[in-house]
Amino acid sequence: SLQVTDNDVDQTGVRYIDTLIIGSGFAGLGAAIRLSQEGKSDFLVLERGSVVGGTWRDNTYPGAACDVPSHLYSYSFALNPDWSRSFSKQGEIQNYISGVARKYNVLDKHIFDCHVQSAHWNNETNTWAVQTNKGKFEAKILVSAVGALCEPSLPDIKGISEFEGEIFHSAQWNHDADLTGKRVAVIGTGASSIQIVPNIADKVEHLDVYQRTAPWLLPRADREYTSVEKLAFKYVPGFQRLSRAGIYWMRETQVIGLAKAPIMMKPLELVARAKLRVEVSDPELRAKVTPDFQIGCKRMLISNDYYPALSRDNVDLVTDGIKEVRKDAIVTNDGTVREVDAIVVATGFHVTDSPTFGTIFGKDGRSLADVFEVGGQQGYKGSAIAGFPNLFFLVGPNTGLGHTSMVFMIESQINYLADAIATIEKQGLATVEVRKDKQDDYNRDLQEKLSKSVWMNGGCASWYLDKHGNNTTLWPGFTFEFRRMLASFDADAYDTTVTVDTDS
Ligand code: N01
């Protein structure tokens, strides 16, 4: 339901609101809860889906589960003693997010099925004009919380639109399509694919897995919690926080190898190689799935059932590139025609080239896409972008991680956002816009740190890099450094204007 009174709607039907948040995944929902806890009521969340949850609502493919342990992959203010296993599955995470939204009573601040079509900064009124399928909004502060992995990327393969069987992206799984007894192809071997493949391999008649680059796989220490552990999580004071802290610090040590001294990744590579030897007995298959880049350069994947699934008689790993798709088949570069009834496209997301960037227009009329086209996806502390006043990001540029919980990063960004809003109110500011020189300094330092990382030197291409070859997605430091950096809003890095008091 909409919580805006008639007084806030002008004759042209524009609804006025102080803060408008786009998206209600972990980030947007967390921000809404924080604003509400700080006693604010003049905010709304626009969500394109019909429920909260974001990526965890959308990714319902068979086997979808998180690769960050459950107790860390939760809000710090809403720990959940009831996690059933060490690595939660999609359904349980989605239930958790919906439960938190209900518990903190912010659902009536949401407008669901609301698609943001454009957002334009208005230099006259110092507000954002936001056009949606559910009408126009005008907001003083706009918060983009759409996430990095929300726009499915479809491969540009000749003839793919002519395929007559079932075809869908991993993030848009068609549950009406029964794959039982069918000949199925999965394109891609990233985090989504390696969960899908073992979960459909025994149902389908035949499965072709199209691999372009072999990923590194590590063991998945997943198990159900015992009833004793669950009781401890629930009733032993501090037990859950302690276990969370343990996981946090263990994961944090990976930063040293990933970002600072890639040589330190060697022990993990040895584990991955041992796993390959144990789980893939066929030397030909093992050669095909042995990666040719340094571990960590692409997202490290964790699975205990992917290699066994590839080793099944009814599964083929296809490494010849795809030449074209026909109405009932996929043809590889060597000319082999492989007939299929269904294709699962597990080819990832538009991250550095998200179509959402083309819908937000800053103070000189250029869109974020235009700005990023020239200078790459650069921001300030992952939260603001020069030329876009009063616009804040959650999960903005260089806030992603290759090793631990995004929820931790999101909460750090929410701290910054909340303090920014408080500062704007306290100081009576009309606009805050990060200074270009501050943003440039910040990015110079960031790229310098990233230049030592495995993501830049590990010999792979990945979605972490933009088309200029810069890593504009990952945070290269410890996450506690990020938390500290965003602990308070640094207004001195921003150009500000004050609100003119019309009564005086
Ligand atoms: O996507 P990806 P994803 N022809 O981009 C291949 C998170 N996540 O959905 O490596 C043929 O990683 C591409 O090949 P290559 C996590 O952050 C988390 O799997 O580019 N193949 C690659 O193999 C993850 O990193 C979890 O050579 C093509 C695959 O498709 C992110 O989401 C679970 C192709 C895409 O892999 C994205 O993961 C799932 C083409 N034209 C996702 N284009 C967990 O927490 C692309 N590929 C467990």
How far does residue 350's CA lie from ligand 1's centre (Å)? 11
- pTM for the model stands at 0.95
Residue 435 near residue 385, CB atoms below 8 Å: no
How far does residue 269's CA lie from ligand 1's centre (Å)? 20
Of 109, 98, 97, 128, nearest in space to 35 by CA: 109
3-class DSSP state of 145: coil
pLDDT at position 463: 95
CA-to-CA separations, 487 to 329, 421, 427, in angstroms, rounded: 54, 13, 18
pLDDT at position 402: 85
Q: What DSSP element (H or E) covers 19?
A: strand 15-22
How far does residue 156's CA lie from ligand 1's centre (Å)? 15
State the Cα–Cα distance between residues 215 and 235, nearest whole angstrom: 41
Q: Is the distance from the beta carbon of residue 58 to the nearest atom of ligand 1 less than 6 Å?
A: no
3-class DSSP state of 134: coil
Q: Classify residue 241 by its DSSP letter.
A: H
pLDDT tens string 28-37: 999 999 999 9
- List the residue whose alpha carbon is closest to atom 12 of ligand 1: 190
Of 296, 350, 376, 375, nearest in space to 463 by CA: 350
- 360: tokens are 């937000």
Averaged pLDDT, 53-65: 98
State what percent of residues in the chain have pLDDT above 70.
Answer: 97
Please give the ipTM for the structure prediction: 0.99
Q: Is the distance from the beta carbon of residue 379 to the nearest atom of ligand 1 less than 6 Å?
A: no
pLDDT-derived band at 11 (thresholds 50, 70, 90) equals low
> What's CA 349's distance to the chain center, in Å?
9
How far does residue 194's CA lie from ligand 1's centre (Å)? 9
pLDDT tens string 73-117: 999 999 999 999 999 999 999 999 999 999 999 999 999 999 999
pLDDT-derived band at 13 (thresholds 50, 70, 90) equals confident
Residues 6+ apart with CB under 8 A from 287: none
Of 41, 36, 35, nearest in space to 4 by CA: 41
pLDDT tens string 345-372: 999 999 999 999 999 999 999 999 999 9
Q: What DSSP element (H or E) covers 324?
A: strand 322-326
pLDDT at position 111: 97
Size of the chain, expressed as the number of residues it contains: 504
Averaged pLDDT, 277-282: 97
pLDDT tens string 427-468: 999 999 999 999 999 999 999 999 999 999 999 999 999 988
Residue 24 in this model has a pLDDT that exceeds 50: yes
* Cα angle: 258, vertex 263, 269; to 5 degrees: 80
Residue 389 near residue 363, CB atoms below 8 Å: yes
State the Cα–Cα distance between residues 60 and 143, nearest whole angstrom: 26
Residue 388 near residue 121, CB atoms below 8 Å: yes
- List the residue whose alpha carbon is closest to atom 8 of ligand 1: 191
pLDDT-derived band at 21 (thresholds 50, 70, 90) equals very high
443 or 11, which is more confident: 443
State what percent of residues in the chain have pLDDT above 90.
Answer: 95
> What's CA 17's distance to the chain center, in Å?
27
Averaged pLDDT, 119-136: 97
Enumerate the β-bridge partners of residue 384.
Answer: 380
Residue 415 in this model has a pLDDT that exceeds 60: yes
pLDDT at position 2: 40
State the Cα–Cα distance between residues 411 and 70, nearest whole angstrom: 16
- 82: tokens are 């009831």
How far does residue 346's CA lie from ligand 1's centre (Å)? 6
Q: Is the distance from the beta carbon of residue 472 to the nearest atom of ligand 1 less than 6 Å?
A: no
pLDDT-derived band at 273 (thresholds 50, 70, 90) equals very high
Residue 3 in this model has a pLDDT that exceeds 80: no
Burial 81-102 (b: 16+ CB within 10 A, else e): bebeebbbbbebbbebbbebbe
Lowest-confidence range among 2-16, 49-63, 126-140, 356-370? Answer: 2-16
How far does residue 349's CA lie from ligand 1's centre (Å)? 8
Best mutation site among 258, 330, 347 for ligand 1, i.e. most ligand atoms within 8 A of its Cβ? 347
pLDDT at position 501: 62
State the Cα–Cα distance between residues 84 and 318, nearest whole angstrom: 36
pLDDT tens string 224-265: 999 999 999 999 999 999 999 999 999 999 999 999 999 999
